[in-house]
Every structure is written in structure tokens, then in C-alpha cells.
Amino acid sequence: MVPARNETIMRGGTMLSMNIFEHLLIEKIDFLRRSFLETSREVFFNEDGKLIHPGEFGQYREGACKDFIRFITPNRLSIGQGFLINTSGKVSHQCDIVIYDSDSSPLIESNERQRFYPIETTVAVGEVKSILSKSDFREAINKLSKVKVLREEIKHPVVIRKEHSGAYDPVRNPYDQVFTFLICQKLDFDLSDIVGNINLLYDSSIICRHKHNLILSIEDGLLAYYDENGKTMMYPFMSKPLKNRFVQPDANIYTHFKLYSSYLFLGTSSGTILYPEVTDYMGDVTGGYIFNEK
């Protein structure tokens, strides 16, 4: 039953006043939380707590995340999974979530149904994890950072859609970059000073603008940034490096989910989309005969 406008309801022992959008969002959040914390454990683990279907377990979590993300991203964008490619011949790792402009993307697929997405039409990339140790977390965020490099190697950038003024410049304009995020169940290490230490988990070769945009831990909170005015931001770099911010849930168990939803919508709706120059992907096209009408 959908509540009337501003209906007050009880949830988890807390009195909440909700409008329709908030009610539907919390419905999605609750499903996501159950998928990670309860349902997936009941279905894919045996009585001894051993994972018995790892492939299906991963697909189930990714499906739950995509369902949630679909609710909070522009409808003009599509969601898939696969590899990112650019005109320099670079290929990314296999990405759990790819948010892209399907109207401007050719269907690039191998005989084994592996999908490849041009970096020009890719708006955001996400990784889905379960419980992360510090070493696993380090590996995940460093792997994500390499995706952003692909955008800076485009040979002939031609803008299809750009929400902000100025020339296309992924080095200085974060809206021209690929938005990256991580969703996990839990960060299984000491979080007492994560805002001070997270930069130390990146390889020394990783520059600021290539770092994550958002990290959502279902049990722990949201990792983002803030500017000099104290405003929470979803970009690591805006004319200068921003500082890290960790938002933990307290009385309101939905705080970090709501903030994540807001910033992901802003990031994906503001992302620049470029024209994928297909001939730049083809390699050498010379060597044929040309016959012209006289």
C-alpha cells in the first residue's frame, strides 16, 4: 500500500513522515539491505556458513544493486555489466555495473556474450562486493581508479551531451570524467580513522582526480568528500583536491542510503556523453582500391 502524501508510519521502531517518493525509495533500500544481509545468506550458504554457489551469489547481489540504482538514475541511461574500451586499445577489468547511454552505444559483444562499452558513452562504473578486508578494499578502489584513465585517452572527443559549460576537459572538469562507486555489505577493518587513512590505501601512482566518487557500505556508512564550505560532495577533485567525509547512520538508519542516492543521481545526470568514433576503434582502414565516378 502506497502511503498518502506525508503519511506517518512506523519502521524499525522509528516514527517516520514520508511522501510517496521517500516511501518507494525506502522500499528499494530495504530490499537491498535484505538482499545483502539476509536473503543471499539464506539461499547461497549452507548450514555451516559456507558459500555453496559463489557465481549465483554474486549475480544475486549485482541484480539487487542494479534494481536499486535503476530507481535513482536518469531513465535515459541503461545499466549493464562488462568491459570498457577506448580508442587507444585499452580494456578495463570486468565491471559489475556499467551505466551508459545506450542510444549512442553500438552493441559490441563477443560470441560468448561478453559486452564491451565505449568509454565515450559510459557515464558511471560500479563494483559490488560483500564483506571487504582492508586488503580487498585496497584492491577494489585501486582497480576502479584505472577506469577513469581511459576517458583521458580519447583521440577525438566530440560532445553529444554536456550539462556544464566549457570545453570538454576530463582533467580539470569532474563532470567530464567517469563516475565511479563501490557498494559492499561491510568494511571489515577498523574504521575509526578511515577519513584520515583512506588516501594511504591508494597506490602512490594514483592521482587525486582518479579516486572513487562514492563508497556505500550497507552496514557502515557512506564515504564521500566535502568542500571548503563544509558541503558534502561526490567528487574527489574540483579545482583542487577535496577532503574525505564518512557519514555513519545513527537514529536514522537510512541516512547514508539517501545521501548516496542523491549524489549518484547528480553524478549520473550531470555526466558528459561523447560520440564514439567507430573508425578510431577499427585500426588500419587503408589498403583498398577506390573507384570514383568520372
pLDDT of residue 168: 94
pLDDT of residue 5: 47
Any bridge partners for residue 215, and if so which? 182, 223
- Between 49-53, 75-79, 88-92, 266-270, the lowest mean confidence (pLDDT) is in 49-53
pLDDT of residue 3: 45
Per cent of the chain over pLDDT 70 is 87
11-15-16 Cα angle (round to 5)? 80
Any bridge partners for residue 161, and if so which? 273
Average pLDDT over residues 51-69: 77
Q: Is the pLDDT of residue 66 over 80?
A: yes
Under the banding of pLDDT at 50, 70 and 90, the label for residue 56 is: low
Average pLDDT over residues 34-50: 63
Q: Give the pLDDT confidence of 198-210 residue by residue, as tens digits.
A: 999 999 999 999 9
Q: Is the pLDDT of residue 46 over 80?
A: no
Under the banding of pLDDT at 50, 70 and 90, the label for residue 215 is: very high
Under the banding of pLDDT at 50, 70 and 90, the label for residue 230 is: very high
The answer to whether residues 275 and 159 touch, using CB atoms and an 8 Å cutoff, is yes
The answer to whether residues 147 and 84 touch, using CB atoms and an 8 Å cutoff, is yes
- Between 35-44, 140-149, 159-168, 201-210, the lowest mean confidence (pLDDT) is in 35-44
Torsions phi, psi for 7 (to 5 deg):
-65, 140
- Per DSSP, 59 falls in state H
C-alpha cell at 287: 589498403
Nearest to 209 by CA among 232, 179, 182: 179
Q: Give the pLDDT confidence of 1-32 residue by residue, as tens digits.
A: 444 445 555 555 555 556 889 999 999 999 99
pLDDT of residue 212: 98
Domain boundaries, the chain: 79-278
The per-residue pLDDT of the chain, averaged, comes to 89
pLDDT of residue 152: 93
pLDDT of residue 113: 87
Under the banding of pLDDT at 50, 70 and 90, the label for residue 41 is: low
Q: Is the pLDDT of residue 148 over 70?
A: yes
Q: Give the pLDDT confidence of 119-128 residue by residue, as tens digits.
A: 999 999 999 9
